Every structure is written in C-alpha cells, then in structure tokens.
Amino acid sequence: MQAIKRKLQAYVNRCLRPILRIGWPRKICNIDFWRKINQRDITLEIRRRKFGWLGHILRKGTDSVPRNAPEWNPQGIRRRGRPKNWR
C-alpha cells in the first residue's frame, strides 16, 4: 500500500512541476514544493474525497448499485487466457 501511495505522490509532483515551471536545475524538496503550492499529501486528499463521496452513497436507496458495490463479492472463476472475440 505504501508503494502505491509513493507512486501516486510522485506522479502528482511530476505533473505539477512543469505546470508551475519548476524545471530540472531548480531543485526543491517535496515538502517545500507542497508548502509553496498549498498542496496536501495525496493520501490525505484521497481520504477527504472518499468521505465526501460516502455521504452521497449513504443517501441512496438500498437497492442502488453504488451502495451495494463496496460489499459486492463476485462469484465464480474466470477462464484463463485472453478472452475470445465473438462476432
């Protein structure tokens, strides 16, 4: 899980640096970079957005797909290999 979080944060940093025109010779550590752009850690941002979405899901009916999606457990076994394209 930590590896995924690091990769996400690296991706966000890699996208924001060219937008803000912070090039290769000007090295800024990540903490100063986040402070400069007023950006939170990506894990905190994901958690905040998840809780915002949770309120919408809980107001849905009990038979709605988004409400049942977190508890859904697919049954059965998929076939091994590439799926055949049927025409």
- Looking at residue 35, its amino acid is R
Residue 85, phi then psi, degrees to nearest 5? -90, 110
Beta-carbon count within 10 A of 26 CB: 8
The structure's pTM equals: 0.55
Mean pLDDT, the chain, rounded, equals 82
Alpha-helical runs (H) found in 1-87: 2-19, 30-37, 42-58, 65-68
Among 84, 63, 81, which Cα is nearest to 72's?
63
The domain locations on the chain are: 2-60
Rounded distance between C-alpha atoms, residue 16 and residue 23, angstroms: 11
Per-residue pLDDT band at 41 (split at 50, 70, 90)? confident
| Mean pLDDT, rounded, for 59-65 | 85
- Which comes out higher in pLDDT, residue 68 or 7? 7
The predicted pLDDT at position 65 comes to 86
DSSP 26: S
